[in-house]
Structure 1
């Protein structure tokens, strides 16, 4: 799990010999198991909870969450050298277990290497996460930094998972078609939104650093201003974007959509980390899950009818 060494506890000196430790962290999480898994693995969600303290800024340089993929980030604290964290995914068993290596370095010197195993379990609206870190430290104080960083990071994760909404749908079409229907400025506004809603686009640019400024118009004519800002676009794999209340308004969620092959069909996962627990509860209360599923259903029917 990258970025969860705490750079506020920077090592003071390099040791002559490695230091080995096995660290275990456990958390009970108020979220269903599939939601916790998405919060743990989806890059857009990891970017929300990965900084162990407010004084740490995490910049993601690379994120490829699949076996053989890696994640690279810089942990930054004012007045201190950047800490580089490289995570390589070795095993991913959805809802059960992930295994990754992690290498932490600074100014070209390796500070530690670790094997991180995360085990998941749960039922209903509750989940449990057990993380085991087998640490080989090449500098002093790394164990303390890991204890502080992982402890704080997992507290953040539990809070993020509790305000995360995840929707899934298997669409009977190849991934290329689903992707091109979603990421096409002509077709996206035609199907986006629940039953009875339409879109009125002001600007649309579906590229990294692009945006979609539009109004959702309800069946009764009520106008809901929206603004999506795209920060990641990986063709036929995933997109990451921020949801704003109207053009340049306050952010109310960090969102992502991922696309996976499934026996000739495509599994679409749409996730949202709401900015506050209150916004999550409000969205859940007015039926955001059902409305989101309606939106994915409209995507499927649009593809079937083309």
Structure 2
């Protein structure tokens, strides 16, 4: 967790408070690249991993559209208590620099609070930092203590998740529709998935929300690597999220996502993976998973540009 790496972590500071109005500041230093921290902050699949402030809280996402003008709606569930609804609207997104969102908290149909949340990012390929400023207006009751607890717990989780997140990006010289259709096509996906020299042998494939892909990835020396992808969300031409398992119904390896952005006539593909443990992340990084992932996206580009 971030607190272990940063024992001097500053607690939330109240810069200004007057009854039900407060400005709160939270800071975290993270031993992860800035690109990973930004993706973990904004990618819906990653936000679902770290957003719960404690094990006693279950966060269920009902909507997630992380773009300017987009909305995120979630329910926080605690046993024996009414659900808390959070509606978040994204106002500004400057990649790896800043995000601004408004959020409204309600319970049983009664609005509890409204807030403006600004997150400022800085860092390098080795370490990164986020400073979150919350301008809070409590409506039904004083919400400051709850915000302190929620943001402190969530940001500690954010740091720990960023430190085991791998991000691979490549600009592919083809329109987004072509790249997307090559990715979610049951015939073409097995043709390019995997690093150079690897092939895929599909057992069954169903590329839709709630679907799955059970397959073996076969290395150049014939070694078989069983895989199972369970698709959590498929949002056409925007993103997909899935869980990686070690073999059919095996242990979870990672929570993963892919996003697609048009850049003129090209497409920027971002592939992110939150490994289940820091040890798995270090092992994957050690055997060159980032380089192998770039080879995989290179095979995708060669396929779409050869047509």
Fold similarity call, TM over 0.5: yes
Partner of 2:223 in structure 1?
Answer: 222
State whether residues 20 and 142 of structure 2, in contact with CA within 8 Å, keep that contact through their aligned partners in structure 1. no
* Match in the other structure for 1:277: 278
Question: d(CA) in 2 for partners of 1:123 and 1:270?
Answer: 19
SS, match of residue 139 in structure 1 = coil
What SS does the corresponding residue of 2:40 show, helix, strand or coil?
helix
1:138 Cα deviation from its structure 2 partner: 1.3
Aligned to 2:115: 114
Q: Superposed, which structure 2 residues align to 1:72-111 within 5 Å?
A: 72-111=73-112
Aligned residue pairs total: 290
Matched residue SS, 1:216: strand
Alignment of 1:9-158 (within 5 A): 19-158=20-159
- For 2:125 and 2:42, locate their aligned partners in 1 and report how far apart those are by CA, in whole Å: 20
Shift of 1:18: 7.0
Query: How far apart are residue 190 of structure 1 and its match?
Result: 0.5
Deviations 1:243-269 (A, max 9, x none): 000000010100000000001100000
Structure-2 separation of matches of 1:176 and 1:89: 25
Counterpart CA distance in 2 for 1:304 and 1:81 is 53
Structure-2 residue corresponding to 1:170: 171
Paired residue for 1:253? 254
Please say if 1:202 is aligned against 2:178: no
Moved over 3 A (4+): none
Instruction: For residue 124 of structure 1, report the CA deviation from its aligned partner.
Output: 2.8
SS at match of 2:197: coil
Unmatched segments (≥5 aa) in structure 1: 1-16
Aligned to 1:183: 184
What is the CA–CA distance in structure 2 between the aligned matches of 1:78 and 1:35, rounded to whole Å? 33
Where structure 2 has 5 or more consecutive residues not aligned to the other structure, the ranges are 1-17
* Cα RMSD, aligned residues only: 0.9
1:305 to partner: Cα distance: 1.2
C-alpha contact 1:18 1:139 (8 A) present in aligned 2:
no
Residues 266-296 of structure 1, C-alpha deviation per residue, up to 9 Å, x if partnerless? 0000000001000000100111001000000
Question: How far apart are residue 304 of structure 1 and its match?
Answer: 1.2
Alpha carbons 2:35, 2:125 under 8 Å: kept: no
Q: 1:32 and 1:231 mapped to 2: Cα distance?
A: 26
Q: State how far apart, in whole Å, the 2-side matches of 1:124 and 1:178 are.
A: 28
Shift of 1:56: 0.4
